[in-house]
């Protein structure tokens, strides 16, 4: 919690995000701002595919890419599309606590058993699949990963504002992550 900034009122939103789509995102989700009507997306939200998270926003407000751990490394064409064609100039990267993409190695047996029992894979095939892909999708510490991913995207898209946010599963609220 010491690295998170809680948003309980509009005044808690950091000054550099006032009157931006990120401000609206935080007000919609955390502060129950009444929904405005949108024809075009104003922001891209990159967030985890975890089923415990739901963002409270109006229709058409955002492009949303859901990927394990909010890892957008393998979704860059979609990110580029939202920027180039959708003209979004802000990206909110939303990580969350208790992410299953953190410490993947501890879930290897469960993963392999799941593919064997649910998908009908051979054990060796499932183990090889895990060993080939788990390193690409491991995020380690959730907050550190989101900050690193934000920095990576800032380097790739220098005119786009990339904002690292954190979703606490316990209270379903979004927080700023202190980067320094």
Residue 39 shares a structural domain with residue 122: no
The percentage of the chain sitting over the pLDDT mark of 70, rounded to a whole number, equals 99
Residue 82 shares a structural domain with residue 114: no
Tokens linked to 114? 């799941």
Residue 12 shares a structural domain with residue 74: yes
Rama region for 15: left / alpha / beta (φ>0; ψ in -120 to 50; rest): alpha
Residues 174, 166 contacting (CB under 8 angstroms): yes
Residues 164, 179 contacting (CB under 8 angstroms): yes
The sign of the dihedral angle between the CA atoms of 65, 66, 69, 71 is negative
Indicate the number of domains in the chain. Answer: 2
CATH number at residue 159: 3.40.1050.10
pLDDT at 2 over 90: no
pLDDT tens digits, one per residue of 98-152: 999 999 999 999 999 999 999 999 999 999 999 999 999 999 999 999 999 999 9
Residue 132 shares a structural domain with residue 148: no
Give the residue numbers spanning the domain of 109: 103-138
Q: Give me the pLDDT at residue 52, please.
A: 85
């Amino acid at each position: 919690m010491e690295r998170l900034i809680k948003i309980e009122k509009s005044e808690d939103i950091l000054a550099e995000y006032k009157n931006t789509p990120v401000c609206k995102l935080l007000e919609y989700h955390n502060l129950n701002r009444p929904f405005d009507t949108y024809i075009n997306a104003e922001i891209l939200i990159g967030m985890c595919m975890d089923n415990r998270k739901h963002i409270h926003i109006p229709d058409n407000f955002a492009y949303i890419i859901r990927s394990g751990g909010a890892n957008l490394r393998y979704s860059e064409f979609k990110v580029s599309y939202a920027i180039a064609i959708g003209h979004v100039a802000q990206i909110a990267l939303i990580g969350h606590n208790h992410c299953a993409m953190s410490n993947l190695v501890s879930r290897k047996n469960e993963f392999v058993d799941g593919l064997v029992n649910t998908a009908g894979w051979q054990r060796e095939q499932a183990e090889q699949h895990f060993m080939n892909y788990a390193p690409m999708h491991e995020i380690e510490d959730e907050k550190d990963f989101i900050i690193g991913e934000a920095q990576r995207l800032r380097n790739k898209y220098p005119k786009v504002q990339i904002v690292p946010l954190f979703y606490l599963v316990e209270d379903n609220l979004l927080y700023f992550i202190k980067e320094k």
